[in-house]
Amino acid sequence: MGRPTPQRMPTDQVEVQRRLAPPPNPAYHPPVGSRSSNDSAVRIFQSFLRQRTWPQAALAREVGIGPAQMKRLLESLERDGVLPLDREVDHPHVYWSLPKGWFPGGVYYQGSEVESLLRLLARSPKSKERDRLISIAGQCFLGRRDMAALLTEVVRAQEPTASEAEHQELVERSAVEQKALHVRYYSTRGKEGWRHISVQRVTPGPPARFIGLCHRTGALRWFRVGNVLAGALDDREPYRGAGAVEVEEMLRSSLDGFYETGPTEEHAFFVRDPDARWVAKNLLEGMRAEEEEGGVRVRIRTAALPIVARFVVGLGGAAIAETPALRSSVVALAEGALAASSDPIAPTKAAPTAKKKRAKSPRIQGSTAIR
């Protein structure tokens, strides 16, 4: 006997079964492991945009892949810098998170944060880059579109010198990228020449300065960004890093960009009322004022004794140097000033100014130059 011929179900019964069948599940996912890596990566990305923290198992179910494949994908996305993921283990669970302010291709700011950003930018030293960022942030601040223009008009930000504006970024790159800086530098002694410097720390100022290891002397020194006349990052000269402890000690012992290799000592002077009030509010960085009867006592621990002495001399009779080394230095400065002021200075004819020849920059291969 042959197979029986299948009989067609009546049309009305087909319709009944179609209506009784359960509706299709919109959340249905293909069998685990069937998605391609690219498709899974896209779904992971979309999931993190909706929710910043995911348990690894829940994210695997959401994307439709197995836990092992999910772990490999997340580690790959983090390792390749696609997503700045944070991993936290709370056994037996593993949680993956994205930073709150992260946004693909940029940074997400809320309205109040945009206003804070505008205010900080307005206080930054003037530059084309600062103005460009202010314009972008101003367009994103929906509360007041005129906020950017108002802030730049009201807040009078520092205007860097032409040399600072030109070379600040180059100096910072030397420290960040750990590459030797080859510069034509004008020293405080009035000499101009080329030298290699390994930048360690940068202080925006004003004036903008940086601590660098001079390759010529092998010592840490303070340099002014404004005294850099030309420069380049030199790939042929090895960068020389200094010890973090040594650099931080130099920062602590320096005063107003001045540092001496001598011992770091505690110095103190007393300022009488009523001058004590304004002096206490206008001290140099690192100076500490202690209120005493009749005035304030100022203390500082530094190797820059000459700077402290000049500060005290500038206060005249309102200040009294108390520590021996400071007292001797103040007396020497005051006596020198009195002697110079008591002698009449005969007028002299100014010597003709000679045209200064600029030192030629040696050719550097594999360098990034800024003129």
Average pLDDT rounded to a whole number, residues 338-351: 64
Q: Which of 48-62, 290-304, 332-346 has the lowest mean pLDDT?
A: 332-346
Question: Concatenated DSSP letters for 144-183?
Answer: -TTHHHHHHHHS------HHHHHHHHHHHHHHHHT-EEEE
**Which residue would you say has higher pLDDT here, 268 or 206?**
268
pLDDT at 368: 42
Q: Which two tokens stand for residue 98?
A: 């994205």
pLDDT at 229: 93
> Is pLDDT above 50 for 3?
no
Question: Residue 210: exposed, middle, or buried by beta-carbon count in 10 A (0-12, 13-18, 19+)?
Answer: buried
> Is pLDDT above 80 for 237?
yes
> Is pLDDT above 80 for 355?
no
pLDDT at 19: 44
pLDDT at 261: 67
Domain 265-339 has CATH 3.30.70: yes
Residues sharing a CB contact under 8 Å with residue 126, sequence separation 6 or more, in sequence order: 157, 158, 159, 160
Provide the percentage of residues in the chain whose pLDDT is more than 70: 79
- Fold entry, domain 37-103: Arc Repressor Mutant, subunit A (1.10.10)
- Longest CA–CA separation in the chain, Å: 140
- The pLDDT-based confidence of 341 (bands split at 50, 70, 90) is confident
User: Across all residues in the chain, what is the average pLDDT?
Assistant: 80
> Is pLDDT above 70 for 135?
yes
Q: Which of 43-57, 248-262, 278-292, 320-334 has the lowest mean pLDDT?
A: 248-262
pLDDT at 239: 95
pLDDT at 30: 44
pLDDT at 324: 93
Q: What does R_g of the chain's alpha carbons equal in angstroms?
A: 34
Domain boundaries defined on the chain: 37-103, 109-154, 163-253, 265-339
Average pLDDT rounded to a whole number, residues 348-364: 49
Residue 185 burial (CB count, 10 A): 20
Q: Which of 196-200, 323-327, 341-345 has the lowest mean pLDDT?
A: 341-345
Average pLDDT rounded to a whole number, residues 298-309: 89
CA–CA gap between residue 286 and residue 157 (Å, rounded): 24
Q: Is the pTM of this model over 0.95?
A: no
pLDDT at 291: 92
Q: Which of 160-169, 214-223, 342-351 has the lowest mean pLDDT?
A: 342-351
- The pLDDT-based confidence of 296 (bands split at 50, 70, 90) is very high
DSSP 318: G
